[in-house]
Chains A and B, each alone.
Chain A
């Protein structure tokens, strides 16, 4: 009898401990969810404040031009190499398959359409998220930590206008241009790939590549590249502008700028592909 009572008490104790552990884990998850939701809400507030600052009277044109130069100049070598390799690899990989189906003459068009519709925008913007997004996150993060943003704020010089609006707009304008540049170099890389095992004239290759490309291939990809630019600019600026205290938070801001921007880019791309698919060809 006594042994049974002892056993019941042990079971009760175990159940209570288990229940406490489950409750703690649930509360922890709820807390994490709450933080994530607050972060999302703050991001949208940040975006709306940026738009408000964007349409105010005193636009920082000089700083905008400087940011365009910095973003373009900083990324150009990386995009050049990636663009060429992208076209080259795509050609080398798909050539044997196309030969098997007797459709090797379709190679230039296939590469051009793949690059223009999907690979060019996606790969270029992911690289830009890594290079530009982390740069913006780290730069604004270190300005936040060293009180430079506060110094602008207290002197009524509007850091949103000077730091955020200029960077976001520079991303929106420069990333589509970088994507077009990467597309062109990708097709050039494809020509190089074809010429490893054959001899094709560059003019003939390019005319064949563009013979099947239509506006419906080009326009949606070009439009979505503006959204890609906005995502990189907004996420990098938000993470940097809201960095915490200490040098550690600068690294965290740069890192999360890349991770979150890349994730959003993939989601935006998925939505864009769905919308494009609905357009009758």
Chain B
């Protein structure tokens, strides 16, 4: 009994360097437009990876391919050891339960209250869960995002920042091990953006998640990212820590960072 427990614990424990996401030679196009072209990347366990790039460079398409909302034309996506493109429906469901996806718009179900929004995936993913446990979990995630008072509100009564927080709460309620953030701070004021960025770090610490953060917001990158990938023409243009980007003399990187600095000023 003890040895079995030790084995399963050993299996669950991932080493810091272990790759939880590996993408090789990913290609996807829409009609004539090649959005991703031989894109390669990996995400390590416990890492916060920011992906930068101009609008339309394929950042959101990339994370949508990772959860198979879009199907890639070619290439390999391995997440938690599973080949995403080869999974059958039930296996894909199982994998998706381990991935949290925060949509740019929040994507809260607008016919449901905040409580019902959080309960919705919980009741369906964690089958047989008791009402008391659901209630406890709802309160726990709302406390984590600091919005317990909004529990009975409708999404239409919430501000942009609150919607993002509730959406985050709904995502972490099912205990994902990988988080995908699609422009988490877009459309928010600087103070709320900072709060969301800090929240991303808190979530990573509390739930031991590995994250991919798609963003334009350099402040968000500064607060959250351990490593940055810059996308250009559908492929990786630069890959490294923030310091490497800031010291780079490459005109593309410089212009991106300069314009971001001007926006902050």
Write the residues of chain A forming the contact surface with B, with a CB cutoff of 8 angstroms. Answer: 58, 143, 146-148, 150-158
- Check B107 for interface membership: any CB of A closer than 8 A: yes
The 10 closest A-B pairs by CB, nearest first: A151-B107, A156-B93, A147-B107, A155-B121, A154-B101, A157-B124, A156-B96, A154-B67, A147-B103, A148-B107
Q: A58-B124, A150-B69 known; A156 and B107 CB under 8 Å?
A: no
A146 touches B96 (CB 8 A): no
Least CB separation from A66: chain B residue: B111
Given contacts A146-B110, A155-B97, A158-B124, 20 further A-B contacts (CB under 8 A): A146-B105, A146-B107, A147-B103, A147-B107, A148-B109, A148-B110, A150-B103, A151-B107, A151-B109, A152-B109, A153-B69, A154-B69, A154-B96, A155-B121, A156-B94, A156-B96, A156-B97, A156-B121, A156-B125, A157-B125
* Interfacial chain B residues near A151, Cβ < 8 Å: 101, 103, 107, 109
B120 close to A (CB within 8 Å)? yes
B99 interface residue per 8 A CB criterion: yes
User: When the two chains form their complex, are residues B99 and A154 in contact, meaning their CB atoms are under 8 A apart?
Assistant: yes
B120, closest chain A residue (CB): A157
Q: Are A156 and B110 in contact (CB under 8 A)?
A: no
Residues of B within 8 A of A150 (CB): 69, 103, 107
Give every chain B residue within 8 A of A58 (Cβ-Cβ).
Answer: 124
Q: Which residues of A contact B94 (CB under 8 A)?
A: 156
CA distance A146 to B155 in the complex (A): 13
**In angstroms, how far is the closest chain A Cβ from the Cβ of B79?**
12
A150 to B120, CA, bound (A): 14
Q: Which residues of B contact A154 (CB under 8 A)?
A: 67, 69, 96, 99, 101
- A151, B182: Cα distance in complex, Å: 12
Of residues 129 through 181 on chain B, the ones whose CB sits less than 8 Å from some CB of chain A are 171, 174
Residue with the highest number of chain B CB atoms closer than 10 Å, among A58, A143, A153, A157: A157
User: Would B108 and A155 count as touching, CB distance under 8 A?
Assistant: no
CA distance A154 to B99 in the complex (A): 8
Give complex CA distance A134, B97 in Å.
33
Contact at B96–A155, with CB atoms within 8 Å? yes
Number of A-B residue pairs having CB atoms within 8 Å of each other in the complex:
47
Contacts of A143 in B (CB 8 A): 109
Of all chain B residues, the one with the shortest Cβ separation from A149 is B107
- Chain A residue with the shortest CB-CB distance to B94: A156
Known: A147-B103, A150-B69. A155 touches B110 (CB 8 A): no
Interface readout for B228-256 with A: 1 if CB under 8 Å, 0 if not?
00000000000000000000000000000
User: How far is the CB of B35 from the nearest CB of chain A, in Å?
Assistant: 15
A–B pairs, 6, beta carbons within 8 Å: A147-B104, A148-B108, A151-B101, A154-B101, A156-B124, A156-B125
State the Cβ distance, A159 to closest chain B Cβ, in Å.
10
- In the complex, the chain B residue whose C-beta lies closest to that of A57 is B127
Return the CB mask of B14-50 against A: 1 if under 8 Å, else 0: 0000000000000000000000000000000000000
User: In the docked arrangement, what's the CA distance between A154 and B108, Å?
Assistant: 13
- A154 vs B98: C-alpha distance when bound (angstroms): 10
**Which residue in chain B gives the minimum CB-CB distance to A142?**
B110
Residues of A within 8 A of B124 (CB): 58, 155-158
Q: Give A69 Cβ to nearest chain B Cβ, in Å.
A: 13
Could you tell me which residues of chain B, from 80 to 128, have a CB within 8 Å of some CB in chain A?
Answer: 93-94, 96-97, 99, 101, 103-105, 107-110, 120-121, 124-125
Q: Residue among A147, A152, A155 with the most chain B CB within 10 A?
A: A155
Query: How long is the Cα–Cα vector from A151 to B102 in the complex, in angstroms?
Result: 8
Most buried by B among A148, A152, A153, A154: A154
Assembled-state Cα–Cα distance A125/B73 (Å): 43
| C-alpha spacing A146/B67, complex, angstroms | 18
- Cα–Cα, bound, A156→B98 (Å): 10
A54 CB to nearest B CB, Å: 16
Q: How far is the CA of A279 from the CA of B103 in the complex (A)?
A: 56
CB-CB under 8 A from B110, the residues of chain A are 146, 148
Name which of B99, B101, B125 has the most chain A CB atoms within 10 A of its CB.
B101
Q: Nearest-CB distance from A169 to chain B (Å)?
A: 18
Contacts of B109 in A (CB 8 A): 143, 148, 151-152
In the complex, what residue of chain B is closest to A58 when comparing beta carbons?
B124
Given the complex, which residues of A lie within 8 Å of B105, measured CB to CB? Answer: 146-147
> Given the complex of chains A and B, what is the CA–CA distance between A198 and B101 in angstroms?
70
Residues of A within 8 A of B171 (CB): 155
CA distance A156 to B94 in the complex (A): 8
Distance (whole angstroms) from the CB of B194 to the closest CB of chain A: 25
Q: Cα distance A148–B107 when bound, in Å?
A: 5
Which partner residue on chain B sits nearest A60 by CB separation?
Answer: B124
Residues from chain A with a CB closer than 8 A to the CB of B101 are 151, 154-155
**Are B174 and A155 in touch, CB under 8 angstroms?**
yes
- Chain A residues within 8 Å of B69, by CB: 150, 153-154
Q: Please indicate the chain A residues that have their CB under 8 angstroms from the CB of B120 in the complex.
A: 157
Contact between A155 and B125, CB atoms less than 8 A apart: yes
Q: How far is the CA of A44 from the CA of B170 in the complex (A)?
A: 34
Query: Shortest distance in angstroms between A158's beta carbon and chain B's nearest beta carbon?
Result: 7
Closest Cβ–Cβ distance, residue A88 to chain B (whole Å): 38
